[in-house]
Amino acid sequence: MELNREKVLDVLQGVIEPDLKKDIVSANLVEELGIEENKVSLKVLISNPAMHARKRMQEAIVFNLRNNFGENLEVEVKFEGMGADARGKQRKVLPEVKHVIAVASGKGGVGKSTITANLAGGLAKAGYRVGIVDADIHGPSMPTMFDVVGEKPTMIDVEGVPKINPVLSYGIKLLSIGFFTEQDNAVIWRGPMASKALTQMFTDAHWGKLDYLLIDLPPGTSDIHLSLVQNVPLDGAVIVSTPQEVALADARKGINMFKLDSIKVPVIGVVENMAWFTPAELPDNKYFIFGRDGAKNLAEGMGVPLLGQIPLVQSVRESGDVGRPAVFQDNTPSSEAFDDLVRTFVAEIERIGK
């Protein structure tokens, strides 16, 4: 077959973008196509920038081109993420959810799940319709934090299609990987399997009309994160960190991950958790155990808002353990801090949306 632009594009129509279910030519994903003697170079937009996805796409492109133009053909492929706007136009995931927000942390143990649970609780308390996807595959916490450990999601028929019906607690819809595994068993899944399971909690669930769907992500910046944020129409991300430098270093990575060209998800702001310790018997005292204003300074330095500073209070831990988020307590330092966080969060969402 003669090597020219028209023939190359014809061959590339045999390569399917798996998330969009369209060939890469019809979906207008092929850019900067160059042809020289025995070499083809091209840039391809891809919805999933994870390493395994790029590798599979590259293998398919190289195979199709060499199968038609000869095994000695030199093929150079570059990939670029679509960006949030393009992905949003291509997908119809969660059409009745106004805002899909990821809650992330670079480091484990900084209270990301606690912040997610109380942010959701505060939003529900303020009258918003809220859901949570517990995507922390290695340590799902939401069943415990909302006292629904023994419950299982039911199935519901939606226009003839069976869908997963989320568990309801405190008016908040919940789906967690913990609902589908034994509590004491370790979940040992490779990246693609984990990504598929998590994606199904969005595509195969009936969330209905929600104002906010919060996603409690696993700690770190792994392959799972890339797959998830590319398959779900995220409107923004919240980064959680403690003030100590070892946590801040990882929080920087988390912020930079969402700013990548292949992701381009707005960072709504940073929450400084365990900002100071206040003992119950000395409610006016503050002890800066993990350092002072570390996450606040990080937010200022990276040009993102500080959404709130949450104190390290024993009742926050106790309320999470018994399945009633601290934000539902009345007139306590912790509930007031979470209420302030909710107000700032909603104001920032509205500002970004303008």
| 90 Rama class: left (phi>0) / alpha (psi -120 to 50) / beta | alpha
- Same domain assignment for residues 205 and 326: yes
Q: How do the residues of the chain divide into helix, strand and coil, expressed in percent and rounded to 5? A: 40, 25, 35
Side chain identity at residue 98, one-letter code: K
Per residue in 19-49, pLDDT tens? 677 888 887 888 888 888 889 999 988 766 6
- Same domain assignment for residues 144 and 260: yes
Question: 61: domain CATH number?
Answer: 3.30.300.130
pLDDT at 240: 93
- Same domain assignment for residues 64 and 102: no
- Same domain assignment for residues 34 and 150: no
pLDDT beneath 50, residues of the chain = 84, 86-91
Q: Choose one of 47, 81, 115: the last residue of a domain.
A: 81
Name the token pair of 127: 């009258």
**What is the domain extent for residue 152?**
88-353
- Same domain assignment for residues 29 and 104: no
pLDDT at 101: 93
- Same domain assignment for residues 154 and 44: no
* Domain total of the chain: 2
pLDDT at 123: 95
Provide the β-strand partners of residue 46: 81
> Which of 57, 9, 26 lies closest to 230, judged by CA?
57
- Same domain assignment for residues 299 and 155: yes
Name the token pair of 138: 């290695």
pLDDT at 89: 42
Q: Choose one of 53, 81, 109: the last residue of a domain.
A: 81
pLDDT at 183: 61
Q: Choose one of 28, 46, 81: the last residue of a domain.
A: 81
- Same domain assignment for residues 164 and 30: no
Question: 108: domain CATH number?
Answer: 3.40.50.300
pLDDT at 91: 44
Per residue in 275-293, pLDDT tens? 989 887 887 889 999 999 8
- Same domain assignment for residues 128 and 72: no
- Is this model's pTM higher than 0.75 or not? no
